[in-house]
Amino acid sequence: MNAQLTLFPTTPATKKKRPRRTHPSVPELPATTIPAALLRAADWILLNSSGGKDSQAMASHICALAAKLGLLHRVVIVHADLGTIEWEGTRALAQEQARRLGVRFEVVRAEGGDLLARTLARFVKLKAKAEQTARDEGRDPATAKAAPAFPSASARWCTSDLKRGPIRKLITRLVAELGDLGRPARILNCLGQRAAESAPRARLATVEIDRPASNSRRHITTWRPIHGWTDAMVWKEIARSGLPYHEAYDWGMSRLSCSFCVLGCEADVVLAARLRPRKAAEYAAVEKTVGTDFKHGLSMRQIIERARALDTEHGKPARPPHGTAMARVVGKKATRRYLALTERGRLDLAA
């Protein structure tokens, strides 16, 4: 991980950021919010897939619409590979979902290390900054306290560094593939975010222009096609599609992506620590180095203690039958039909 420590300069930046200017051709508002019109207008329909249930429900839903409109050739599923911090098999699952849907699949990966490597690199930078500030103010730099290095709700650099940034690079490549259109390329960037997930997500628009990512060469419209969907609607769509879903849901996880999400609920991160004790120990080691908790108000050390206590009381979690998560929502009969539609190998979550 030492190689990652050069990711950020150690000297605090003094230059003021210039306000970002958006190209005048970029519209303020989307021309339409009608699904078929959005799809028809797009040169590329980009489906962001974490491999999780919301992304896959969105993907099968949009692919069904695109197929009806004869637009499947414009669809690309992109997965931002997070390395070993995401559940094992996630990338392969996203790829398999794309294969079954008959659309192009792309994987992107951030340069410069995974979430833990970046947390360590940020710590070095933040510590240097705190020490410099202390010196400037005539205080002892040894007593300077660095800002938290782990990402959080208010400093969610993990999403921008590990997902959004690499996906924007893919968009640049896709736009180049189109050649000269005599106008800016139109990218429909589809996200599986839902209002039901959280209050901040509920405030997001269903359709909006991504002005910061748009320029004279590309206009990007962000579309959240399942923004108003409930959990039940998501599981019904998965049952209808027959696409395989990740086994982590059967074990009891409510969300996928990083096994240990800084914004995840306690039940999820404790369960993840029971299923991936070695990865939990890696987080705990980083936590010790950077001197702040992995999660606001809940350290990885505490999470591991709770996971161990549960293992002592109940034994190691037993592998649940495939379809467990779905059956809870759509019932056993519909789940049996779904399982007949999709057959896949088991994934080793303990890796």
> Closer to ligand SF4 at the Cβ: 156 or 183?
156
- Measured CA to CA in angstroms, residue 112 lies from 4, 8, 78, 118, 226 at distances of 6, 10, 20, 8, 33
Sign of torsion over alpha carbons 293, 294, 295, 296: positive
- Using CB under 6 A as the binding rule, whether residue 110 contacts ligand SF4 is answered as no
> Smallest gap, in angstroms, from Cβ of residue 256 to ligand SF4?
8
Stretch of residues binding ligand SF4 (CB under 6 A), selected from 97-105, 187-195, 259-267, 278-286: 259-267
> Smallest gap, in angstroms, from Cβ of residue 158 to ligand SF4?
3
Read off the amino acid at residue 228: G
Among 55, 56, 119, 257, binds ligand SF4 (CB under 6 A): 257
> Smallest gap, in angstroms, from Cβ of residue 267 to ligand SF4?
15
Sign of torsion over alpha carbons 68, 69, 71, 75: negative
- Using CB under 6 A as the binding rule, whether residue 159 contacts ligand SF4 is answered as yes
Stretch of residues binding ligand SF4 (CB under 6 A), selected from 137-145, 215-223, 256-264, 325-333: 256-264
CA atoms of 31 and 41, how far apart (whole Å) = 10
> Closer to ligand SF4 at the Cβ: 214 or 257?
257
Q: How far is CA 178 from the centre of its chain?
A: 27
> Smallest gap, in angstroms, from Cβ of residue 166 to ligand SF4?
12
Residues 263-292 close enough to bind ligand SF4 by CB under 6 A? 263
Place of tokens 């539609």: 341
DSSP summary character for residue 46: E
Stretch of residues binding ligand SF4 (CB under 6 A), selected from 95-103, 158-166, 315-323, 334-342: 158-166
- Using CB under 6 A as the binding rule, whether residue 6 contacts ligand SF4 is answered as no
Among 65, 78, 158, 307, binds ligand SF4 (CB under 6 A): 158
Place of tokens 């792309």: 106
> Smallest gap, in angstroms, from Cβ of residue 156 to ligand SF4?
6
> Which positions from 133 to 152 touch ligand SF4 by CB under 6 A, shown as an x/- string?
------------------x-
- Using CB under 6 A as the binding rule, whether residue 30 contacts ligand SF4 is answered as no
- Using CB under 6 A as the binding rule, whether residue 171 contacts ligand SF4 is answered as no
> Smallest gap, in angstroms, from Cβ of residue 207 to ligand SF4?
23
Contacts of 131-135 spanning 24+ positions with Cβ under 8 A: 132/11, 132/12, 133/12
CA atoms of 60 and 66, how far apart (whole Å) = 10
Structure tokens at 276: 């991936």
CA atoms of 76 and 98, how far apart (whole Å) = 8
- 3-class DSSP state of 265: coil
> Smallest gap, in angstroms, from Cβ of residue 46 to ligand SF4?
18
* 19 phi/psi in degrees, rounded to 5: -60, 135
Closest C-alpha to 342, from 27, 93, 40, 16:
93
- Using CB under 6 A as the binding rule, whether residue 116 contacts ligand SF4 is answered as no
Q: Residue 123 in contact with residue 80, Cβ under 8 Å? A: no
Among 98, 108, 258, 273, binds ligand SF4 (CB under 6 A): 258
Query: Footprint of ligand SF4 on this chain (CB under 6 A)?
Result: 151, 156, 158-159, 162, 257-258, 261-263
